[in-house]
Amino acid sequence: MRRAIRTREGGVWREKEAEGQMILIVGGAGYIGSHMNKMLSRSGRDTLVLDNLRCGHREAVRWGKFIEGDLADTALLDRIFSAYPVEAVFHFSAFINVGESVTAPAKYYENNVVNTLHLLDAMVRHNVQNFIFSSTCATYGEPERIPIVEEMRQWPINPYGWTKLMVERILADYHRAYGLNFCVLRYFNAAGADPEAEIGERHDPETHLIPLVLDAASGRRESISVYGTDYPTPDGTCVRDYIHVNDLAKAHILALAYIQKEGISADFNLGNGVGYSVREVIEMAKQVTGQEIKVIYGERRPGDPPELVGSSEKARRILGWQPEYDLRAIIETAWWWHEKERRG
């Protein structure tokens, strides 16, 4: 017997499909989630997006089914898992502003940890056993050495990193107690946009370096601020490992196939393995855009480690994952999207 679910999108009743498994993408109207949705849909998978649109954008959900709702609504979660044949959950719904997590930690623990527990408990109740978790290199804090490998000590230096690490620990316990298979994917700096410029990166407020630099290049903002020039790095500015959003999406697909085939859980770092300083990113953006970019230098921000560069050798070896985009290609795809948005 089919069941129906009432979504918050116009009060429309949606019925469970008679055949085919679905991937539930929580936070699928956001930056990484929308790229994941496109890639899964283009590969022939049926997708279901759950997003409260607090940070996401309805127009970014151009594939699959959409339900507007919140993870705090446990009754809604039960209706979703009852009505749709969900085989796996990809979880992207988290607050990610490191600085804000320091000044408003309660907001981050409530959304990133408590709401994730609501989701996991609903999965356990409905026997959905595959979970791909969007984690972060921020769980490593200030690493002992570079590049960062998965076996290194995890000790975050901000509440955002702690929320992600707490969920990692919860997942390990749920695996032992309830048989939940999971894969933790620790991103380094997600960047870039859909090469077809259908979707891209858009946050409000924007805090990520590459979109901010491109805003300065296009004239949307007067300048780009660089926080700290006295770090123990080659040019004194922070060094980060940038990974294209589509490379991240491919890793999620490979991770799901791996845990489904092996029936185990795992964790992987996802980065290019090459670090670029803030100054180097700005210089590359100048080359890509052909524009001058005004830079204002300021003091360090609390919670910013000098260098975060990851080793993805484990993901390459076990998953067969191979990132395709270098820094130039990352900025090029971001610029194409940026200019398309600017022109309307």
Catalytic residues: 160
Task: Residue 18: name the closest of 67, 88, 89, 84 by CA.
Answer: 84
Burial tier of 240 (Cβ tally within 10 Å: 0-12, 13-18, 19+):
buried
Does residue 225 sit in helix, strand or coil? strand
8 Å CB contact between 153 and 123: no
8 Å CB contact between 317 and 254: no
Look up tokens 């210089």; give the residue.
283
What is the dihedral angle through the alpha carbons of 257, 259, 261, 263, rounded to the nearest 10 degrees?
-160
CA atoms of 283 and 276, how far apart (whole Å): 11
Are β-strands 86-91 and 130-136 bridged in parallel, bridged antiparallel, or unpaired? Answer: parallel
Q: E strands of the chain, at which residues?
A: 4-6, 13-15, 22-26, 46-51, 65-68, 86-91, 130-136, 181-187, 189-191, 224-227, 239-244, 266-270, 275-277, 295-298, 307-308
Q: Which helix (H) or strand (E) holds 287?
A: helix 278-289
Task: Residue 91: name the closest of 148, 19, 147, 170 by CA.
Answer: 170
CA atoms of 166 and 112, how far apart (whole Å): 9
For 11-50, give the DSSP string: T-EEE--SS--EEEEETTTSHHHHHHHHHHHHTT-EEEEE
Q: Which amino acid is at 279?
A: R
